[in-house]
Amino acid sequence: MDLKVIYEDNHIIVVEKPNNIPSQGDKTGDVDMLSIIKEYLKKKYQKPGNVYLGLIHRLDRPVGGVMVFAKTSKAASRLSEEVRNKKFKKTYLAIVNGKMQDEKGTLKDYLWKDQKNNTSYVVKQNKKNSKEASLDYEVLKYDKNLDASVLKINLHTGRHHQIRVQLSSRGHSIYGDGKYHGKLSNKDLCLWAYKLEFEHPTTKENLVFEDLPKMEGMWENLKGINLIV
């Protein structure tokens, strides 16, 4: 596949992950982002042997959007620390079924992951191994004809399938999400990590990267929307 590089220096590389490609290798053996970027770096810099590349964060396989990888172990360590300290900010776009009750809001739940079926559920707080999940959302647009809402989402926690589960539990499944009862009129999941903000691991500069999905299919609803925060 053609790799879309958004930014690159000696320490990090920021790229677009397409829908339906794993962030890293899994049991399917399908090509993954780590392998693709390693091959890109190996060819570009004519590096012999294995190329170092640190995975800092993940996106679910069906989710597309902007990701950053570390090109050195020092950069990987510092960026991972930002993730742990919640200084690493990801903003998503989603198209969901129906009209949200409020234009803005915070969703808080406890989620439990079914390891066997790779599915998560909203459960009561006292369920064993459940974890708290929280996100903010803002409605950017509601299309009455499609009965669909475009949302901007900021995560406070990074739980398994969090955005998909929390919205689905309230009757607002994401378009294309067969696992969580979403309408399948669109071939791709309408969830996209469009904005990434973090501190550069060496220069300490605050970096912001944005990457929008192609304006086609359901994503045509983004046309004319002001996404400036």
CA–CA separation, 83 vs 88, rounded Å?
5
Q: Choosing from 32, 60, 109, 211, which is the catalytic residue?
A: 60
Are 106 and 126 in contact, with CB atoms under 8 Å apart? no
Range list of H helices, 63-217? 73-84, 162-168
CA 88 remoteness from chain centre: 13
Structure tokens at 217: 């299919």
Are 172 and 95 in contact, with CB atoms under 8 Å apart? no
CA distances from residue 77 to 64, 68, 101, 154 in whole angstroms, order as listed: 24, 13, 41, 24
φ and ψ at residue 143, rounded to 5 degrees: -100, 110
Say whether 30 is catalytic: no
Count of all residues that appear for the chain in the document? 229
119-123 and 104-114 strand pairing: antiparallel
Give the residue numbers marked as catalytic.
60
